[in-house]
Structure 1
Amino acid sequence: MEFLFPLSLLLILIVLVNIFLKKQKPQPTTGNHPSDEQSQLLPPGSTGLPLIGETLDYFFKLKNGVLEKFVAERMKNYSNKVFRTSLIGQPTAILCGPEGNKFLFSNEKKLVQVWIPSYFDKIFPKVDNADSGVASSNTEQTKLIRKQLPAVLKLENLISYIGTMDAVMKQQLRTEWNREKINVVPTVSKFTLTLACQFFLGIEDPKKVEEISKFVRDIDPGIMSIPIDFPGTNFNRAIKASKMMREKIQLIVRQTKIDLQAKRASVSKNLLMHMLSTADENGQFFSESYIGSHVFALVEGGFGTVTSTLTFVMKYLSEFPHVYDEVLQGKAYYLGPVLGTC
């Protein structure tokens, strides 16, 4: 269960300390120790050991599926609203409860902006469209890829995806779910990755999906691991798998481009086709490496979050059989009050 927590969980719960009052410089004081005055503006908490911080405790609880204890213990000791810590060598603030969630979601691009640890560049390297060798910033890359998504996620396209999702699910119910005992995580993983490959890459061949899934199985543990790039570590295996997966996707991009030029393939509604047939704001078409890098990130990112969500839905349905019975009968059911969540 240790890898069911997606990267999005960290991005939602964890915010660097410097987002607090980063745009507000500390007011001058008459004291002789302005650094002490500034430290009083930070949330309560502990940064743990030098360099390591509280990373070991965090990953120990993550591995044992009790990550909530990491937060609960510090909420009890420091504050039930916000506390500071240090994770993976980074000063970090964790916001808790409805107020913390509201602050994050209502202040994006105002007081809060998405931040990704620098070591993620080793797993998700950024590539400029011009292949100049100089990668643009996280923010610039995010803006560019977000401009491509609306065209792919238009209402008429989303409606057409429903038929594909239904067909894939029915096929997998016959082949993967038709047994007495089911290991949910790998089974759901196969379903979500199959859909991701179809919607982003236009891949329907199960053998090709399986090839990509082998890389994903090495990348996921590396994302949620201590970033030690040493042979044998999860992080090192993730870097190697990332490189091989990007090379595989780039080959798919190149072959699709050749098929389009030779008119052996028709333009479909997946992201790859859209990026191959659309120019950027400067009138230049996206390079193969640029497309491969971004499609890779979307396949990996979309796969993990959906897999986690579906797995927990299955878990809760098994724990609340009366809800399962209602769903089985085709009745809509809001799980919030039943599960005690908001």
Structure 2
Amino acid sequence: MDTLIMLTLILALIPITLTLILIKHKQPSKNHPPGSLGIPYIGQSLALLRAMRTNRDREWLQQRIEKYGPVSKLNLFGCPTVLLAGPVGNKFVFMNEGNVLGNHQPRSFTRILGDRIIIELVGEEHRRLRGAIGGFMRPEVLKRSVGRMDEEVRLHLDMFWRGKSQVKVSPLMKTLTFDMICSLLFGLERGHRRSELVNGFEQLIAGLWSIPVNLPFTQFGKSLRASRRIRSIVTSIVHEKRTALAGGGREPSNDVITSLLSFGLEEGPGTLTEEEVVDNVMFLMVAGYDTTSILITFLIRQLSRDLDVYDKVLREQEGIAKNKAPGERLTWEDLSKMKYTWRVAMEVSRIVPPAFGSMRRVLKDIEYKGYQIPKGWQIFWAATVTQMDEHIFPEPTKFDPSRFESQSPCPPPPFSYIPFGGGPRICPGYEFAKCETLVVIHHVVTGFKWNLCAKEDSFIRNPVPEPYEGLPIQIDARH
């Protein structure tokens, strides 16, 4: 009886199968890029995350490029994806904002931070919100901020460095950059709420690039819970600033939160909802919390490994310090003299980019390099693909700040050095991060001598680079 039923089912399926085959042959096949989408939903996500956490991400990407070429398809974080490699691919990503591509992060990223963050918006919405935020990144505003940055750095070093024989650089730099963001951008004074925010951010950030499965034991689930705690604190701060603004107690130029609230009032009801303000405050905290602290951490690491570079940085910084009175703050003009120090920072960002890469959403069916890329897919770019390319940067593993001299004989081609992105979406906080980095390095170099004491001088990406053990160093006061 069972055999008869099986034969009946097979006979019934034969015409359906033949029909599907005929339809498939009649329809032209889509000329998608080479590669495989892998297991549905998961695809290559676990393989990429594993490569990042074992510091083999560049090797993993290079193997794909060697196998499939500069354009290949894969599946990342539940979405069909196309990896574009090389300066031409980077240019396509950065210069096709709006009509062709929209910024897009993994679903885990927007679930944790919100759908209305600035990097997810396109067109006029993005330009308007960038204008509201970018007002605090203008040179005239930053010039006034350098003295306050100097204050924060001095206070931090007095609290956490002086009198110590050993410190862990990575967690301390995260604390410092977060304190500067809270003070300079959000007007949030030191206290219990600021400490709560710091405590929750490590957990929140760990799940930004993860498979979005919300279970108690998954990293995504843990990050969502941290996000809810932080969102509650930020919402209460927004309520307070809205009340102060309504009562005439604050000027829109006081901080970013007040500026965003004022922006909504000036442009008409509903322009920026409370949810949008909270989403973008959380995003700015995450962006500033990680990227600058990573750059400073790996810059300190590099100076301990390369004594020639260290000596040049020290001479430059001591030359600036000797023209300052005791306790006198750094100024914008002082930072403009730190040219070699910033070239060193640029080379650090080339070898260890703070941001691994990013995504763009395909807004309509497009053709690229002869391949069809359907609407709804995502485009993926990674900074290390070009920044560690020996054809663009000779001897890419060699640390050489002279690559970024204005008279360099081999300047990198456009869209090959992209640690801060490029095009209309280049990081709006680039100059703010530059000021922070230079102020911190000035005080660390002129105030301390140090040696690495980590058992293993390496790092992982989770998803941002993290040195093993937090980069412990032995320190001595210079004077």
Query: What interval of TM-score do these two structures reach, taking the shorter chain for normalisation?
Result: 0.7 to 0.9
Partner letter of residue 317 of structure 1? L
1:17-32 correspondence runs (5 A): 32=25
**Counterpart position of 1:169:** 153
**Counterpart position of 1:328:** 314
**Counterpart position of 1:124:** 113
Task: Give the aligned CA root-mean-square deviation in angstroms.
Answer: 2.9
Deviation at residue 268 of structure 1 after TM alignment = 4.9
Q: How many residues align?
A: 300
**Counterpart position of 2:277:** 291
Deviation at residue 280 of structure 1 after TM alignment = 4.3
Deviation at residue 259 of structure 1 after TM alignment = 3.8
CA distance in 1, matches of 2:84, 2:115: 29
In percent, how many aligned pairs have the same letter?
A: 26
TM-score (norm 2): 0.56
Give CA deviations for 1:270-297 in whole Å, capped at 9, x if unaligned: 1012223342422568554442232122
Contiguous gaps of at least 5 residues in structure 2: 1-23, 317-337, 348-392, 404-411, 413-479
Q: Which has the higher contact order (CA 8 A, sep 6+)?
A: 2
Change (3 A) 1:73 1:231: same
Contact 1:216 1:241 in 2 (8 A): yes
CA distance in 2, matches of 1:99, 1:113: 18
Counterpart check, 1:112 vs 2:101: yes
CA distance in 2, matches of 1:35, 1:184: 57
**Counterpart position of 1:150:** 134
CA distance in 2, matches of 1:43, 1:310: 39
CA distance in 2, matches of 1:339, 1:233: 38
1:122-271 correspondence runs (5 A): 122-126=111-115, 138-139=121-122, 142-178=126-162, 179-261=164-246, 268-271=253-256
Partner letter of residue 236 of structure 2? L
CA distance in 2, matches of 1:106, 1:289: 29
Larger strand fraction of residues: 2
Deviation at residue 242 of structure 1 after TM alignment = 1.1
Give CA deviations for 1:125-162 in whole Å, capped at 9, x if unaligned: 3479xxxxxxxx84376444223123333332111121
Contact 1:276 1:286 in 2 (8 A): yes
TM-score (norm 1): 0.77
**Counterpart position of 2:67:** 77
SS at match of 2:197: helix
Contact 1:185 1:311 in 2 (8 A): yes
Q: 2:83 aligns with which of 84, 88, 94?
A: 94
**Counterpart position of 1:131:** none
Moved more, 299-308 or 189-198: 299-308
Change (3 A) 1:332 1:154: closer
CA distance in 2, matches of 1:250, 1:209: 13
